[in-house]
Every structure is written in structure tokens, then in C-alpha cells.
A and B are shown apart, each in its own frame.
Chain A
Amino acid sequence: MKNELRVLRARHGLSQAELAEKLGVSRQTINAIETGRYDPSLPLAFKIAALFRHPIEEIFSFEDGAGSA
């Protein structure tokens, strides 16, 4: 999965710690999502979408082995 979390977070002027607090997760979890090492659960993905007021598919996109979104 690819995501735009880092860009959105920066656009809203939030640090990883601030975003983590708003979402009720750890800073490490935000970092793991941003670096693409962890794909969040659906509830967390919806929470992120609701927080940034963006459709979920604009934040997260599926990326198969060939690298297409």
C-alpha cells in the first residue's frame, strides 16, 4: 500500500507525535505507516481519512508487485 500520510500531516503542520495523539496510537505506529512498513487497519485508516477530511482512497492506494497504484 502507498499512502499520502506524510504529505497530509506536513500540510496540516502536525508532528508525528501530535498526529499520533489525535489518532490514539503511538508515534512509532505513525512512522511505520508513513514509511510503508505497516498498513493500518480499516478503522484506523477511516480515522485518518476523517481527521484530514479526505476520501480514504485519496490517502491510501493499493500498489501491486509491478508498482502500479
Chain B
Amino acid sequence: MDNNSTKHLTANQDSHWPSLWILLYGNYGPRSPEGRRMIIRSSLALVAMLICVLSSALLHSVIPKRIVRLILAITPSVAFTFIVWEFRRYLSALDELARRMQLEAAAWTYLCALPAAMLLGGLGFVYHWHVNWYWFLALEPMRAIWLYFVSRRYQ
């Protein structure tokens, strides 16, 4: 084997998955066009949601109350429907290993969330706690953490 071949054998041994992006956004970062699109569009959806919610709350004296309530109730769902749609597009653009890792992370998140939900449900039932549904969002950082651990296995 010549020197050139040896160089190619050892040149790219540090092919790591981008941990920072995985932990921050639950994806592989903006280096690929689909990753960039996912990050930009998801961020825009979140900003639009915040603007919509804040402005409707601030303008409650101008806008009829039931309209404000409707906006507050529906806007997060619309934003997250868009984000999920974008995530689906992102998944379909990934290569087989990257997609497998995302799906593995989602599966582990679901499997962890199931007993956690049962515990919260049980405690809520017994002690009459009201658990806010927005806590469901905690699954996203959990998914990112699982993706991080799954990515360690494949490098």
C-alpha cells in the first residue's frame, strides 16, 4: 500500500456525530441543507408562535376575549404541527444510519415517557395534582439526550 493509501486509511478517523447540535436541537446540525432547513424553519415557527401568543395576550383589551383565548389555545399546536411536519421531511432526507439513530432515540424516549406518564397520572389521581400538558415538551430534550447516547454507539 502506498503512502497515499495509508493517508486515506488514517485521515478521517475522527468522524464524530456533532454532539453540540444533537444536544441543542436533536438533529445533526446545519452542515447539510436539510439540517439547515430544519433548524431555520423550526426556529421561525417557535418565534412566530411566541410573537402570536405574546401579542394576543398584550392586545387582550383590543381583541375580544374569546378570540384571544382561541389564539392562545391553538397557536402552539399549529406551530408544533409545522415542526413535526418539517421533522418528517428531515427524516426522509437523512441517510440510513442517521435516520435509524433518530428513530432509535424516538423509540427510547417513548419507552421512558410511558412509565413516567403512568407515574404522574397515578400521583395526580391520588393526590389530585393538576399536571400541565405543556410538560410534554420535556420529551424533546429527553429525545436529544437519547440521540446523543445512541450516536456514541455509532462512532
Binds A, one of B11-19, B45-53, B62-70: B11-19
Which of under 10, 10 to 19, 20 to 34, or 35 or more describes the interface residues of B?
A: 20 to 34
Minimum distance in angstroms from B113 CB to a CB of chain A: 26
Known: A28-B17, A31-B15. A40 touches B8 (CB 8 A): no
Q: Kindly identify which residue among B11, B95, B153 contacts A26, using a CB–CB cutoff of 8 Å.
A: B95
Q: Collect the chain B residues with CB atoms within 8 Å of residue A13's CB.
A: 4-5, 8
Known: A10-B5, A32-B97. A37 touches B153 (CB 8 A): yes
Give 4 closest A-B pairs by Cβ, nearest first: A31-B15, A16-B12, A25-B95, A10-B5
A6 within 8 Å of B by Cβ? yes
Minimum distance in angstroms from B1 CB to a CB of chain A: 6
Whether the pair A38, B97 counts as a contact (CB closer than 8 A) is yes
By beta carbon, the residue of chain A nearest B100 is A38
Residues of chain A touching chain B, judged by Cβ–Cβ distance below 8 Å, are: 6-7, 9-11, 13-17, 24-32, 35, 37-38, 40-41, 44
Residues of chain B touching chain A, judged by Cβ–Cβ distance below 8 Å, are: 1, 4-6, 8-9, 11-13, 15-17, 28, 32, 95-98, 153-155
Give the tally of cross-chain contacts (CB within 8 A): 61
Whether the pair B154, A32 counts as a contact (CB closer than 8 A) is yes
A32, B154: Cα distance in complex, Å = 5
Known: A31-B15, A32-B155, A37-B153. A25 touches B97 (CB 8 A): yes
Q: Collect the chain A residues with CB atoms within 8 Å of residue B9's CB.
A: 6-7, 9-10
Whether the pair A29, B5 counts as a contact (CB closer than 8 A) is no
